[in-house]
A and B are shown apart, each in its own frame.
Chain A
Amino acid sequence: MASLLRISHVLKKHKALYLLMLPGILYYLIFKYAPMYGIIIAFQDYSIGRGILGSKFVGLKHFIEFFYVTPDAWKLIRNTMMLNIYDLVFHFPAPILLAILFHELKGKWFKRIVQNISYLPHFLSTVVIAGILVTFLSPTTGVVNHFLVQILGMEPIMFLGIPEWFRTVYVGSEMWQKVGWGTILYLAAISGIDPMLYEAAKMDGASRLQQMRHITFIGMIPIMIILFVLTLGHFMEASFEKILLIYNTMNYETSDVINTFVYRRGILNADFSFATAVGLFQSVIGFMLVVLANRIVRKHSETSLW
């Protein structure tokens, strides 16, 4: 009772502040926490009519169905992992290298122009990027194949019709769109490096390459760690919206990921419980990855996400 009185006293004292927060808190409760509660339907045979409280509890039925009955389960998991591993291997280091090269540029205006141009693709919408990919890569009318045929004398390649090409197309376009924008945080980290360090290194006869490695690169490590942990947090998600736009039945073999499957089963077929179960499997893996990564990072360095 005493604590309740205390709470009501605090609420009254700062009434205006709590009222200000109210719409925001409601937003989080309704659109973030209510869906978390809604995960229960992954363990039910949910029907809209009966609702969450009235639907029948079926335990792990949908998970078992996914892992043992769905013929594509393994393919979906593999594709999700592979696309993200490719992305991590090629796309994660790219902005780090580019930031170092930006930093080494001497002409101030040239540097600014290159940077601004490299940021530009970030502002194009996913639909525009996907549209550019689909039209440019078309085997009959696309400009990429015009180049291959006219200038290199090759046969046209059906990039989006061949499963082997999908990962390259996906990661390549991710890099094209995001590498420039990705340098911003690294450049901020570089600008925080004490210039005296470079002077001292020059005095000691360090070469440009050595300075890049031992000063610039080292100076970026904290932000690298944070971005790495954050990347792992989205590890299972991939750029699912882009995949949804550029994949097709011909390249499902490598392009179909967990999220696109959830979309088809859940939204298109209204198979809510099953799709929620599959989605939950994915979010749990993603959550465990980021917690694990953060724990490892915290053990071995001073930087960590929390």
Chain B
Amino acid sequence: MNRQESWGSKLFDVCNILFMLVLIMVMVYPILYVFSASISNNAMVASGAVLLWPKDITFIAYEKLIYNPDLWMSYWNTIRYAIVHTVLTLIVTSAMAYPLAKRWLPGRRIILMLAAFTLLFNGGMIPTFIIVQKLQLLNSIWAIVLPSLISTWYLFIMRTFFEGLPEELEDAAAIDGCGTIQILIRVVLPLSLPVMATIGLFTAVNQWNAFFNALIYLQERDMYPLQIMLRNILIAGANVQGEGDMTYLETLKYAMIIIATVPILCVYPFIQKYFVQGTMVGGIKG
């Protein structure tokens, strides 16, 4: 590759890098601003003195939130929902995906088709709501977990993964006298940690970020997850300080965004590679 690059090609590279720098700024600025505003003086934020860097640094907004019992309640609810959802999803999805990976299993095609059809058509918001209501799940953790227990995409990702495992290992275990369920637990699942991690993380993050099911299925305050609390403060304009006290109104909003997002931002650098892999497996073979 000794050939001189053309002038146009170099110009393209420079423009491309400039474009990427602009892109980085556009992506990072809102997040940076939210952080700056959350630790600035409320009056400065409201009047527009804060445009990028924090001014008159104070942690008063965080202090106000930390002493708010509703916040901790909703935090705990979100953690609870995310853990239960993730564990159940992994169990039920892998239990269903494993038989579906056996090409010789009678009835496999019909079940796959039934699952795939739900990607194209569904009953819609109201009939699903009525089912949840009839089952008397309203206002319980099960209204949050069960209606979205299996994602058909994840089911297909897992099935594709299981199909790729060498069958000899399972045969060997069967000869050693292992039953089907033992093979799944002792042989297949230990080999499937990457796909389990990916789907588990996807499920946990989705549940962390979800708000709509909680909005329609939960009525009681002490069941609210973080995102509902966030919505009430940011959008519906609920006041965490009590009636009439507007002293920290703006900074409180930004601090609340940070508190709700920090767990995701903290784990993101470590897990994003799983997400990328997961999307690719699902996209190419799903």
Contact = CB atoms under 8 A, between A and B. Distances in A.
- Say if A and B assemble together: yes
Interface of A: 10, 14, 16-18, 20-21, 23-25, 27-28, 30-39, 41, 48, 98, 101, 104-106, 110, 113-114, 116-121, 123-128, 130-132, 134-136, 140-141, 143, 145-147, 149-150, 176, 180-181, 184-185, 188, 207-209, 223, 226, 233, 241, 244-246, 259, 262-263, 266-267, 272, 275-276, 279-280, 282-283, 287, 290-291, 306
Interface centre among B17, B146, B265 (most CB of A within 10 A): B17
A149 B48 contact: yes
10 contacts: A31-B128, A125-B227, A127-B235, A130-B235, A131-B253, A180-B27, A185-B283, A263-B125, A263-B216, A266-B129
Contact of B48 (A120, A130, A150, A185): A150
A16 B155 CA distance: 19
Given A101-B20, A127-B230, A208-B12, A36 B279 contact: no
B216 A267 contact: yes
> SS class of chain A's interface: helix, strand, loop or mixed?
helix
Contacts of B135: 30
B193 interface: no
B280 A36 contact: no
A290 B120 contact: yes
Given A27-B150, A105-B17, A131-B253, A35 B179 contact: no
> SS class of chain B's interface: helix, strand, loop or mixed?
helix
B205 interface: yes
B99 A18 contact: yes
Given A127-B230, A184-B276, A276-B124, A21 B99 contact: yes
B28 interface: yes
Nearest to A290: B120
Interface in B131-188: 131, 133, 135, 146-147, 149-150, 155, 179-181, 184
A276 B127 contact: yes
A125 B260 contact: yes
A39 B129 CA distance: 12
B55 interface: no
Contact of A41 (B23, B37, B130): B130
A86 to B, nearest CB: 19
Contacts of A132: 30, 34, 257
A75 B150 CA distance: 35
B203 to A, nearest CB: 14
Interface footprint category on B = 35 or more
B155 A24 contact: yes
A6 B24 CA distance: 62
B92 A185 contact: no
Contacts of B131: 30-31, 34-35, 38
A126 B261 CA distance: 11
B264 A124 contact: yes
Nearest to A51: B134
A16 B181 contact: yes
B125 to A, nearest CB: 6
Contacts of A275: 125-126
B87 interface: no
B279 A266 contact: no
A98 B131 CA distance: 43
A136 B51 CA distance: 11
Contact of B111 (A25, A280, A283): A25
Given A27-B150, A38-B131, A105-B17, 12 more contacts: A21-B100, A32-B122, A48-B133, A101-B16, A116-B269, A118-B24, A118-B27, A128-B209, A131-B253, A132-B30, A145-B48, A263-B216
Interface string B252-277: 01101100110011001100100110
Given A125-B211, A127-B231, A131-B235, A17 B180 contact: yes
Interface string B95-132: 11011101001110001001110111111111111110
A27 B130 contact: no
Interface of B: 6, 8-9, 12-13, 16-17, 19-20, 23-24, 26-28, 30-31, 33-34, 37, 45-48, 50-51, 92-93, 95-96, 98-100, 102, 105-107, 111, 114-116, 118-131, 133, 135, 146-147, 149-150, 155, 179-181, 184, 205, 208-212, 216, 227, 230-231, 234-235, 250, 253-254, 256-257, 260-261, 264-265, 268-269, 272, 275-276, 279-280, 283-284
A21 B111 contact: yes
Contacts of A272: 126, 130
Given A105-B17, A135-B250, A35 B124 contact: yes
A172 to B, nearest CB: 10
Nearest to B231: A127
A-B interface, 9 closest residue pairs, ranked by CB to CB distance from nearest: A35-B123, A24-B96, A38-B127, A146-B48, A131-B234, A125-B209, A16-B180, A35-B127, A279-B124
A291 B120 CA distance: 9
A184 B209 contact: no
B17 A124 contact: no
A134 B235 contact: yes
Contacts of A113: 24
Contact of B125 (A24, A28, A143, A259): A259
B96 A25 contact: yes
